[in-house]
Structure 1
Amino acid sequence: MDCYFRQKWLDRRLAFDTFGNRNDLPISSKMLNDIWTPDTYIRNGRHSYLHTLTVPNVLFRVRHDGQIHVSQRLTIRSRCKMFFKKFPMDCQACPIEIGSLGYFSKDIVYVWKDVELDSKMSNMLAQYQLLHVIKTSHNWTDPHDNKLNISVLKVYFKLQRQQGFYILQIYTPCTLIVVVSWVSFWINKESSPARVSLGIMTVLSVSTLGFSYRSDLPKVSHSTALDIYIMLGSVSEILFSSCFGFVFAAVIEYAIINYVNRTNIRKKVSKIRISSKPLMPPRQRTSLHCKKMTPDSKLQSNRNLFTPKQEHSMFHRIAAEASEKVKIKNPTNVVSRIDSAAKIAFPSLYILFNVIYWLAFLYWIPDEINTLI
């Protein structure tokens, strides 16, 4: 953060009589080394520095009653504890703590005067919108001596993350992938390659989309709001569902109807008798009439009438006849009743999921920073 850090204190030793219309005097910043100044520092700062181009950016004035005004242009980089459970609908509160390095509250007390914000500051933040500023003051107990207190000023900058990027780059593509996965419900159940390929493509697309945005986030152990929407944060969230859950369920739905369809055909095969069409080659039938056989030898010969290849061909022929009869007896079986139910259930559940999701994370679930400020 780039700011003008202004301090005022009273030192009677620097008081002087007014002359003319001058109530204060501008003095070179080099004179600060010759007077007493508070040892103010940023308690949670990581890397802060004073601007020195082209000269040290310091304003030093002394009023006739001894009040000293020092203004410095600083760039402050401080630590900010962030919460990502509601990401990207999260709010963050980044504090700056100001205090004395060597003086206690009996020696020096810090008091806020005002915090002025640049009107263009909100437009300078690409991902955040500055909501407001919260000022607080504390007297903290010295951890090394319980009888001594430290005067500390604290200011919170409450920031709201902008969701436009995530809606365009993640939420909208994820929703479109889920809608594409529903196309498989309108594809004939006999077209296994088409339905399986579509299911695998949508699952891989959602997985890639879910892992791609993670590279911009710190490695957190808990799930975020975006995790719940795209992938799955935990076992309990599988029941709550997500984009990945809906896409994966579409693949499982086809596996179920494929299993049910094949089970029905096998049941029909077991009930259908072998038709009157000759299943044996004519050459083998002729050889049976030319040879005299006993009852025992006849039974043994009938077992050797079909080779394994012929038996395999016969089974597929019977299965095909059973399948055709199933279609003729029940024309609605071409479009499975499971598919018909999925065409209604999946869109309805997905709309309900979105309604609950957006209401929960925008209005119902409180911000985690409320425990801080």
Structure 2
Amino acid sequence: MDLVYGNGFVNYSLTGFEMTLTRYSRKYFVNYYLPSGLIVVGSWVSFFIPPEVVPGRMGLLVTTFLVLVNIFNTVINNSPNTEGVTAMGIWMMTCVIFVFGALMAYAVLLLKKKLLMQQEVKSMSSPKTGHWHGDQLTYIDTAFSYAFPALFLLFNIVYWPVSLS
């Protein structure tokens, strides 16, 4: 309400406060985003381990999967309760899915190898065919080694602009 006094001064009454919110995200990048992203990238090393080295490849993939699940549980326990899904929850779940996907890709590769060996035994094929099967398994492994980084890069291209806005 404006009140005009005899000397021409106008009195404005104004009450309120200003609140500035700041997001301190460095802690989350260092403690959660960076390690989980590096673990996903580290799981791709498994595509360069020969399929015949089952303990090495399975050990790497299962260990990275369990570490990511542990980080994901830490994120859930240290985050405030929310109704919906958080951006960090989406990131962690995607990282877990990528490592689990690498584990399932290796399972598919082992299954394909087993089926090819059974087919070879049934048909009593020549050693030349066996070499072709090895090439086929290498091709599948190579396809996975290109597909997983490409999909993770695509996810990052979509995730970061959306989550930072």
TM-score by length of 2: 0.83
CA distance in 2, matches of 1:260, 1:188: 14
1:225 deviates by 0.3
Question: Aligned to 2:50, what secondary structure does the other structure show?
Answer: coil
1:332 deviates by 2.1
The alignment yields a C-alpha RMSD, in angstroms, of: 2.0
Structure 2 alignment gaps of length 5 or more: 1-12
Match of 1:338 in 2: 140
CA distance in 2, matches of 1:331, 1:247: 24
One-letter amino acid matched to 1:157: M
1:112 to 6, 9, 14: 14
CA distance in 2, matches of 1:193, 1:224: 36
Question: Aligned to 2:22, what secondary structure does the other structure show?
Answer: strand
CA distance in 1, matches of 2:149, 2:27: 25
1:270 to 106, 118, 122: 122
Structure 1 alignment gaps of length 5 or more: 1-110, 114-134, 136-154, 232-241, 274-321, 364-373
Q: Greater Rg, structure 1 or structure 2?
A: 1
Determine whether 1:181 maps to 2:33. Answer: no
Instruction: Indicate if the aligned counterparts of 1:265 and 1:326 stay in contact, CA closer than 8 A.
Output: no
Match of 1:32 in 2: none
Determine whether 1:163 maps to 2:65. Answer: no
Instruction: Indicate if the aligned counterparts of 2:32 and 2:71 stay in contact, CA closer than 8 A.
Output: yes
1:1-373 to structure 2, matched below 5 A, reads 111-112=13-14, 135=16, 155-231=17-93, 242-272=94-124, 326-329=129-132, 332-333=135-136, 336-363=138-165
TM-score by length of 1: 0.39
Structure having the higher helix fraction is 2
CA distance in 2, matches of 1:262, 1:331: 12
Which runs of at least 4 in structure 1 moved beyond 6 Å after TM superposition? Answer: none
CA distance in 1, matches of 2:58, 2:133: 25
Bigger relative contact order, structure 1 or 2, given CA contacts below 8 A and separation 6+?
Answer: 2
1:178 deviates by 0.2
CA distance in 1, matches of 2:150, 2:160: 16
CA distance in 1, matches of 2:79, 2:113: 46
Question: Aligned to 1:262, what secondary structure does the other structure show?
Answer: helix
1:214 deviates by 2.8
CA distance in 1, matches of 2:145, 2:107: 16
How many positions carry a matched residue from both structures? 153
CA distance in 1, matches of 2:27, 2:144: 32
Instruction: Indicate if the aligned counterparts of 2:61 and 2:102 stay in contact, CA closer than 8 A.
Output: yes
Question: Aligned to 1:157, what secondary structure does the other structure show?
Answer: coil
One-letter amino acid matched to 1:209: I
CA distance in 1, matches of 2:163, 2:90: 11
Instruction: Indicate if the aligned counterparts of 2:68 and 2:95 stay in contact, CA closer than 8 A.
Output: yes
Q: Deviations over 1:211-235 (max 9, x none)?
A: 113333222232100000002xxxx
Identity in percent? 31
1:262–1:163 distance in 2 versus 1, CA, 3 Å: same
